[in-house]
Amino acid sequence: MVKEQENPQKNIVDTIIVGGGPAGLTAGLYLSRYRIETILFEKGISGGQVNLSEVIENYPGFPEGIIGPDLMQRFEQQAIKFGLKIINSTVLTVSPEKYENKTNFKISTADGIFYSKAVIIASGGEPNKLGVPGEQELTGRGVSYCGTCDGAFFREKEIAIVGGGDTALEEALFLTKFASKITIIHRRDELRGSKILQERVFNHPKIKFSWSTIVLAINGETQVKSLQLKNVQSGEINTFPCQGIFIFTGYRPAYPSFGEMQKQLINENGYIITDGNMKTAIEGIFACGDVRAKGLRQIVTACGEGATAAFFVEALLK
């Protein structure tokens, strides 16, 4: 419809959304219902990080909880029902492009060039790495960043989890279905995750803790065999035998290259700055969800931000 070769700048789609997690899909749902022509680009399966969660217990309306990928499938179906077009491709760059005295955006993707009048960046983030020896080499061979994806490989095995946030605690509880013993390795002596999850991990017989401890190296030739750990209080270093290590040390924002616009859009921590209406410093570019600089990263907040971005895109295009 808007590929460069076929139609240089003539058919400009109203809005392009980058990212198909809760924020992007909600923005897509709202824009489709406003009858604003919208294409959403998602590089993988719609749902983003939520797909990595076994059960979502804090999304209102599901008192029994709902499986993460199931919830995201419903988001996608609902948006498509109202006309959202989803293309599975990676957005590489977003740049401004003047056409008939108006600034539009040129969106280059792995599958061609597209143009739009507005862009919503809802591209979320990706898991942080520890950056220790062995991590990269043993990824997929005992090093994992997703319990839901890889848990079944660790039936009756002893595993370690790194991190003390909500993700680490939720995943630890999920992995108790498979592993025989789980040790949560945390760099401080206090968890960051919510109190209800803390109560559950503390009460679970399979879950133990290694406090004030960091991972120095992951050992093994073809499979993880052990970890080299350091107690940051005593300075003691020891070898911890285990067959798997799951790393949940937070996320970093992920987005396409914005070229010259980058310095106007991004804060010192790499997140996109917006106002309360999800507008960035550049007219026509909006951001919502985990990629935004903000305090709370939840599905419900992502949805609210997606709806807000759509509302102000509609106002702008009008």
Check binding of 125 to ligand NAP (CB under 6 A): no
State yes or no: is 146 an active-site residue.
yes
State yes or no: is 149 an active-site residue.
yes
Check binding of 170 to ligand NAP (CB under 6 A): yes
Is 138:243 a contact under the CB 8 Å cutoff? Answer: no
State yes or no: is 275 an active-site residue.
no
- The three-class DSSP label of residue 260 is helix
Closest separation in Å from C-beta 108 to ligand NAP: 30
Instruction: Check residue 216 and give left, alpha or beta (phi > 0: left; psi -120 to 50: alpha).
Output: alpha
Question: Which tokens go with 166?
Answer: 């909500």
Q: How many residues sit in the footprint of ligand NAP (CB under 6 A)?
A: 21
Is 272:259 a contact under the CB 8 Å cutoff? Answer: no
Check binding of 297 to ligand NAP (CB under 6 A): yes
Q: Which of 37, 42, 76, 166 binds ligand NAP (CB under 6 A)?
A: 166
Check binding of 28 to ligand NAP (CB under 6 A): no
User: What does the alpha-carbon distance between residue 25 and residue 114 come to, in Å, rounded to a whole number?
Assistant: 19
The one catalytic residue among 14, 70, 111, 146: 146
Residue whose CB is less far from ligand NAP, 59 or 82: 59
User: What does the alpha-carbon distance between residue 143 and residue 133 come to, in Å, rounded to a whole number?
Assistant: 12
Check binding of 312 to ligand NAP (CB under 6 A): no
Q: Which of 41, 145, 251, 258 binds ligand NAP (CB under 6 A)?
A: 251
Check binding of 37 to ligand NAP (CB under 6 A): no
Q: Any residues with CB less than 8 A from the CB of 241 and at least 6 apart, and which? A: 158, 225, 226
- Contact stretch for ligand NAP (CB under 6 A) within 66-74, 139-147, 186-194, 257-265: 186-194
Check binding of 274 to ligand NAP (CB under 6 A): no
Residue whose CB is less far from ligand NAP, 13 or 168: 168
Is 75:26 a contact under the CB 8 Å cutoff? Answer: yes
* Residue whose CB is nearest to ligand NAP in the complex, by number: 165
Residue whose CB is less far from ligand NAP, 131 or 140: 131
Q: How far is CA 312 from CA 31, 79, 250, in A?
A: 10, 18, 30
Check binding of 24 to ligand NAP (CB under 6 A): no
Residue 146, Cβ density class (10 Å: 0-12 exposed, 13-18 middle, ≥19 buried): middle
Check binding of 252 to ligand NAP (CB under 6 A): no
Give the E-state strand segments of 176-292 in sequence order.
Answer: 181-185, 207-210, 213-219, 226-231, 237-241, 244-247, 251-253, 285-287
DSSP 1: -
Binding characters for ligand NAP, 64-103, by CB under 6 A (x = yes): ----------------------------------------
Is 37:13 a contact under the CB 8 Å cutoff? Answer: yes
Question: Which tokens go with 303?
Answer: 């949805």
299-317 and 22-33 are packed helices; what angle lies between their axes, rounded to 10 degrees?
A: 40
Binding characters for ligand NAP, 190-219, by CB under 6 A (x = yes): --x---------------------x-----
Binding site for ligand NAP (CB under 6 A): 58, 128, 130, 162-168, 170, 187-188, 192, 214, 248-251, 297-298
**Which of the residues are catalytic?**
146, 149-150
